[in-house]
Structure 1
Amino acid sequence: MKRTITALVNNTSGVLNRITGLFARRNFNIESITVGITENPSISRMTFVVVVDTIGNIDQVIKQLNKQVDVLKVRDITDEQTVARELALIKVGVTPQQRAEIGALVNPFRASIIDVGRENMTIEITGDHEKVEALLDLLKPYGIQDLARTGITALKRGTKRSLDANRITLIN
């Protein structure tokens, strides 16, 4: 089963290596990983999609991650409401006659053609995993020459508000 884990870490040298090493020692396959600084340049957010056998295994890894010096907060957000996106750059082989056809094909996906060459086009798409996969399936017959994907980046959805008599309570 796939689990999505986020970690807030100090933005220091070697943190990524230590954390991915912990996953490797547990024999977890990291399907995707994204890392970037947050609104605070001294803190980075890591998002991992890992394949695990049982939830108990991932709970143990989360406990071990929390013990790491540079780890500030770890959370399994798989079962929470999240906003998750992936970016893909797709280079497709095309003839000049197929350019308009490809343009019409990517338009419903709100994807962009970001480069056009004599024999190929590069398309940028951002969306959830299923959206990216759907566009890739439609582009395969044209011949995908190159593909670069970022992996999933995710955040927990905003706070919920519940009305209790005359006051509003924020629930995280």
Structure 2
Amino acid sequence: MGVLNRFTGLLTRRNINIESASINSTPDNKAVVAKFKIQVAKAHEREHLKRVIAKQIDVLSVQWDDCKNDLEFEHAIVK
């Protein structure tokens, strides 16, 4: 099962909607950067979600843009 599928499953279980998504590969094609705009009002819920996503296989990093409530994570491409 792919990283994107696991990520959307995590959000579905928490009743969180994706407002927008952008998924692009890095110039060297070794990783994919996925940016999602989601609304999670409470800071402790954002941090919990960040930890859960970071534990996923192939996820390299997870970051929140606190100004815009955007979530960004990077994962390796498995070929």
Query: Is the shorter-chain TM-score for this pair beyond 0.5, marking a shared fold?
Result: yes
2:67 corresponds to: 79
Specify which of 15, 26, 35 is matched with residue 14 of structure 2: 26
Number of equivalenced pairs: 70
Structure 2 residue identity aligned to 1:17: N
Query: Counterpart in 2 of 1:67?
Result: 55
Q: Helix, strand or coil for the counterpart of 1:45?
A: strand
Match runs of 1:14-163 below 5 Å: 14-79=2-67
Unaligned runs of 5+ in 1: 1-12, 81-151, 155-172
User: Percent identical across equivalent pairs?
Assistant: 34
1:74-131 CA distance string (max 9 Å, x none) = 0002339xxxxxxxxxxxxxxxxxxxxxxxxxxxxxxxxxxxxxxxxxxxxxxxxxxx
CA distance in 1, matches of 2:28, 2:11: 26
User: Distance in 2 between the 1:18 and 1:48 partners?
Assistant: 14
Calculate the TM-score normalised by the size of structure 2: 0.76
* SS of structure 2 residue aligned to 1:33: strand
CA RMSD across the alignment: 2.2
* Greater per-residue strand proportion: 1
Misfit runs of 4+, over 3 Å:
none
User: Does the CA contact (< 8 Å) of 2:53 and 2:59 recur in 1?
Assistant: yes
Q: Unpaired segments of 5 or more residues in structure 2?
A: 73-79
